[in-house]
Amino acid sequence: MTGCLLFPQKGFYFFMKKDGYYSSGEFARMAHVTLRTVRYYDKQDILKPSLVTESGARFYTDEDFARLQQILLLKYLGFSLDDIREMTIGDSDYHFMLNSLNIQLRLVRDRIEQMQLVEKAIQDTAQVINEQHTIDWSQMLNLIHLTGMEKSLKNQYQNATNISSRINLHSLYSQNKQGWFPWIFEQCRISPGLRILELGCGDGTLWTDNLSLLPEDISITLSDISSGMLRDARRAIGSSDTRFAFRAFDCRKIPCKDESFDLVIANHVLFYCDDIPSVLKEVRRVLAPGGRFLCSAYGKAHMQEVSQLVQNFDERIVLSADRLYERFGRENGQSILAPFFPKAQWLSYEDCLLVQDAEPLISYVLSCHGNQNQYILDRYKEFRAYTARKTAKGFRITKDAGVFLCEK
């Protein structure tokens, strides 16, 4: 064990602490929390000690301070301990910590904005009561809505964390040096005067990476069903950039006039839609004659080694309840598009991942939409060691992705 020595004496092992290891009491004092809090987090499997001796003594490391910081902030922001347990597991790698801190910063900003709205709503409601001596029930309902947004905030945090975890794995270990988003941008063939709509824009990464390449006389509408994602995109791009508009809506009913756009983009979106034909009908409606539709998809071989990895660890794990490529993928995409776009052309993105560190891969696994947390959280240290062995000499992952290019 790095940083500590165990010496046998009279049938017992005595722990000689070295730099970087702290007893439970030292850890609590240095973090300005009670020893009872540290013990409770240990009991609840939220913050386990890095070392437990045979005599039961518990020791923590510097990495545990980073985990504790995240736990305390999320608790301060109103998340339950059950939520925190799932949201903080495995965040010891520095890539994770930087990513986690950036997401926490966005979460704090969201909460500040929310509380400012609550403050204004309280002031407005109180003013009406004071001036009119009556209660405006519509304002009261608005106040109830604003003060009940914690669940939405939690979902936004988890969505942002999941998206960042996936992007992080690909950006760190993709062998195609161009990168997915620059490649997608290249396929868009951006030119002056274009009117562009992106469905499911997420945090706007497609555009933030390419802002300097955009012409000035262009109109780009970024849409997402999540207002939290749109808020992240607006912050990343900047609200002063007049080329961009941000709109929250369900892409099954696009609130735009017929033939409003020259290019519509759906990057990893269609396979999440409940009614794909309705979405495609709407896309065709808002496209101008000669307009183009670019939609990405996976094939059945995409990331298959990750599924094999976790099932070899525990055969009960399923990373996705739905096989996304069966809903809309490389193999069936043309037939799904055909009623609306008969001449869809498939372009493959040639790439693979060569993962050499366990932590980003673990983060990716935990971000999936399956049942993995049910079987991994209680065996996390075992899963971490297992994944570290698998990635020690490089773990190759197939990427089977690309885009369909369609024209109206």
Give average pLDDT by consecutive 10-residue segment, the chain, 408 residues: 45 51 88 87 85 86 79 73 66 55 66 71 76 64 52 50 69 91 95 97 90 94 88 88 95 96 97 95 97 96 94 91 87 97 95 92 82 81 91 95 97
Residues 315 and 359 placed together within one structural domain of the fold: yes
Q: Is residue 178 part of a domain?
A: no
Burial class (CB in 10 A: 0-12, 13-18, 19+), 263: buried
Residue 313 and residue 52: Cα distance in Å, rounded? Answer: 24
Q: Residue 84 maps to which CATH number? A: 1.10.1660.10
Q: pLDDT of 361-380, one tens digit each?
A: 988 887 787 888 788 877 88
Residues 68 and 166 placed together within one structural domain of the fold: no
Q: pLDDT of 79-135, one tens digit each?
A: 777 767 766 655 555 555 565 666 667 667 666 766 776 677 777 777 777 777 766
Q: Is residue 62 part of a domain?
A: yes
Q: Is residue 278 part of a domain?
A: no
Compute the residue count for the chain. Answer: 408
Q: What is the pLDDT of residue 10?
A: 42
Among 171, 187, 220, identify where a domain stops. Answer: 171
Long-range contacts of 49-53 (CB under 8 A, 24+ apart): 49/24, 50/21, 51/1, 51/4, 51/21, 53/6, 53/13, 53/15
Tokens of residue 208, six digits: 């933030």
Residues 361 and 405 placed together within one structural domain of the fold: yes
Residue 119 and residue 13: Cα distance in Å, rounded? Answer: 58
The three-state secondary structure class of 240 is coil
| Spacing of C-alpha 368 from chain mean position | 10
Residues 118 and 50 placed together within one structural domain of the fold: no
Domain, as residue range, for 372: 286-408
Among 142, 171, 200, identify where a domain stops. Answer: 171
Residues 22 and 118 placed together within one structural domain of the fold: no
Q: What is the pLDDT of residue 307?
A: 93
Residue 303 and residue 166: Cα distance in Å, rounded? Answer: 11
Residues 36 and 78 placed together within one structural domain of the fold: yes
Residues 30 and 70 placed together within one structural domain of the fold: yes
Residues 308 and 364 placed together within one structural domain of the fold: yes
Residues 316 and 401 placed together within one structural domain of the fold: yes
Residues 75 and 126 placed together within one structural domain of the fold: no
Burial class (CB in 10 A: 0-12, 13-18, 19+), 136: middle
Task: Tell me which DSSP letter residue 211 carries.
Answer: G
Residue 122 and residue 16: Cα distance in Å, rounded? Answer: 57
Q: Is residue 360 part of a domain?
A: yes
Residues 299 and 375 placed together within one structural domain of the fold: yes
Q: Is residue 244 part of a domain?
A: no
Q: Is residue 179 part of a domain?
A: no
Q: Is residue 237 part of a domain?
A: no
Query: Which residue in this structure is represented by tokens 């925190």?
Result: 84
Q: What is the pLDDT of residue 95?
A: 53
Residue 341 and residue 262: Cα distance in Å, rounded? Answer: 15
Q: What is the pLDDT of residue 287?
A: 98
Residues 58 and 156 placed together within one structural domain of the fold: no
Q: Is residue 139 part of a domain?
A: yes
**Contacting residues for 229 by C-beta, under 8 A, at least 6 apart:** 156, 159, 160, 163, 201, 202, 203
Among 150, 171, 192, identify where a domain stops. Answer: 171
Total tally of structural domains belonging to the chain = 3
